[in-house]
Amino acid sequence: MIVYTIKRIFVAFLILLVVSGLTFSLSHLSADPALTIAGEQASDEDIEAVRKLYGFDKPVVEQYFNWLSSALQGDLGKSYHYKAPVVEMISGRIGTTMTLGFLAILFALVVSIPLGTIAAMRPNSIIDRFALLLAVFGQALPTFWFALMMIILFGVWLRWLPISGNTSWAHFVMPTIALGYYATPALMRLTRAGMIEVLSSDYIRTAKAKGLLPVSVLFKHALRNAIIPVVALAAVWFGFMLGGSIVIETIFNLKGIGWLSYDALLRSDLPVVQAIVLIFASFYVILTLFADLLNAYLDPRISVR
């Protein structure tokens, strides 16, 4: 287990290095940061001066290593537009995004695991059909459309929930549902498929032959094995949730880093974009790592391979 953990952590670092290198070079190819900083009306000499000052005239590889070495020391540079340190801008907002992502995946799990389990216990029953219907809708509806419909219904007509801002828990209700609902179908189908397979396995028959009550057959012996792949998928979806927060945060005006990245992209604010991409990528990598380790813990056979 320890060797396995170390191996996985090493691979995770490699992936992060590659991702950061790629975003750095791509973003420097796609926009000229000197132009953004100097402004539209700047003369050629001014732009050239800015280029020298910020080191944009140096080769991209060298710039990358400069950026990387300061990033490793916790300095992600300054925003070109707001002139504030990127670290401060992000740390002030990341809480909002994490809260939203966490609530969304929690919502998705709380809905999909019981629904998938019930559907698996009685395949083709009314509950199973209902769950399938829900899944089809979830997969077919675009998130932004769903979010707007909720705003119209609960925010404008019924006036139950606030539609913009992040000052109270009530502000998180609609964004959580909008974002989490998107992950529900996949998690539910996987729970259902896993449960159906596990329920027909030999060790479930053994558990029944021991005289165990249906509750422990279902929740101890079956669910534990059926949710192993669900856990992995949920971790990946948590990553999607953070990425998906760009749309949702913009719609609901929740000022997290999703909103910030949208803002920074519009302004070609490269240090902010880079930092956010790095952060999202790190989340992804860490979450996948976490999912693998959790899987190894839940299914003792995995770490042996």
Partner 1 sequence: MDKNEVVLEVKNLSIDIPVSQGVLHAVDKVNLHVDRGEILCVVGESGCGKSLTSLAIMGLLPKNAQRSAEMLELKQEDLQKLTERQLSDIRGNRMAMIFQEPMTSLNPSFTIENQLLEPLFRHRGLSKHDARSLVIEMLELVGIKPAEPRLRQYPHQLSGGLRQRVMIAMSLLCNPDLIIADEPTTALDVTIQAQILELMMGLREKFKTGILFITHDMGVVANIADRVAVMYAGQIVEEGPVAEIFDNPAHPYTRGLMSCIPVPGKVDRDSALGTIPGMVPSIVNEFQSCRFAGRWDENYEENFTPCNLTEVSTEKRSFKVNSNKNHLVHFCCDQCLDQSQHTLTEGRWLCRTQ
Give whichever of 29 and 213 is closer to partner 1, judged by the CB atom: 213
Burial class of residue 195 (count of CB atoms within 10 Å of its CB; 0-12, 13-18, 19+): buried
Q: Is 303 in the site for partner 1 (CB under 8 A)?
A: no
CB 199, CB 192: distance < 8 Å: no
Q: Is 205 in the site for partner 1 (CB under 8 A)?
A: yes
Q: Which residue's entry shows tokens 């609609």?
A: 174
User: CB of residue 192 vs partner 1: minimum separation in angstroms?
Assistant: 17
* CA dist., res. 95 & res. 89, Å (int): 12
Q: Is 212 in the site for partner 1 (CB under 8 A)?
A: yes
Binding piece for partner 1, criterion CB under 8 A, among 71-79, 89-97, 183-191, 196-204: 196-204
Q: Is 126 in the site for partner 1 (CB under 8 A)?
A: no
Q: Is 140 in the site for partner 1 (CB under 8 A)?
A: no
What are the residues whose beta carbons fall under 8 Å from the beta carbon of 265, sequence distance 6 or more? 273
Q: How far is CA 48 from CA 30, 38, 68, 294, in A?
A: 18, 9, 24, 52
Of 36, 201, 250, 282, the one binding partner 1 (CB under 8 A) is 201
Number of residues that bind partner 1 (CB under 8 A): 21
Of 9, 144, 208, 253, the one binding partner 1 (CB under 8 A) is 208
Strand partners, 85: 78
Q: Is 29 in the site for partner 1 (CB under 8 A)?
A: no
The number of angstroms, rounded, from the C-alpha of 123 to the middle of its chain's C-alpha atoms is: 31
User: CB of residue 108 vs partner 1: minimum separation in angstroms?
Assistant: 23
DSSP track, 141-154: S-HHHHHHHHIIII
Strand partners, 78: 85
Give whichever of 36 and 303 is closer to partner 1, judged by the CB atom: 303
Of 140, 209, 215, 266, the one binding partner 1 (CB under 8 A) is 209
Give whichever of 206 and 253 is closer to partner 1, judged by the CB atom: 206
Q: Is 98 in the site for partner 1 (CB under 8 A)?
A: no
Binding mask 219-248 vs partner 1 (x if CB under 8 A, - otherwise)? Answer: --x--xx-----------------------
Q: Is 59 in the site for partner 1 (CB under 8 A)?
A: no
Q: Is 202 in the site for partner 1 (CB under 8 A)?
A: yes
How many Cβ atoms are within 10 Å of 149's Cβ, its own excluded? 12
Q: How far is CA 89 from CA 16, 21, 33, 259, 260, in A?
A: 22, 22, 19, 12, 9
Q: Is 207 in the site for partner 1 (CB under 8 A)?
A: yes
Question: Structure tokens of 247?
Answer: 């749309």
Q: Is 195 in the site for partner 1 (CB under 8 A)?
A: no
Q: Which residues bind partner 1 (CB under 8 A)?
A: 201-203, 205-213, 216, 221, 224-225, 298-301, 304
